[in-house]
Amino acid sequence: MSAVEVVQLLVSPAHRYMGRPSDGPSPAHDGEIVLRAQVRANLGLVGDRYYGRPAHRDAAVTLMAAENLPVDIDPAVDLRQTRRNVLLRGVDIDALVGATVSLDTGAGPVLLAVRRPARPCAWMDAVIGPGAQRALRGKGGVRCTPLTDGELAVGPAEFTVVAPSAQG
Q: What is the mean pLDDT of each run of 10 residues along the chain (168 residues)?
A: 94 67 62 93 93 82 96 89 92 97 98 94 83 92 96 98 78
Relative to beta strand 100-104, strand 109-117 is antiparallel
Beta bridge partners of 157: 4
Report how far residue 21's alpha carbon sits from residue 10's, in angstroms, rounded to the nearest whole number: 21
Question: Would you say the pTM of this structure is higher than 0.75?
Answer: yes
DSSP string for residues in 95-128: GGTT-EEEEESSS-EEEEEEEEE----THHHHHT
- Taking only the tens place, the pLDDT of each residue in 44-79 is 999 998 898 877 778 899 999 999 999 999 899 888
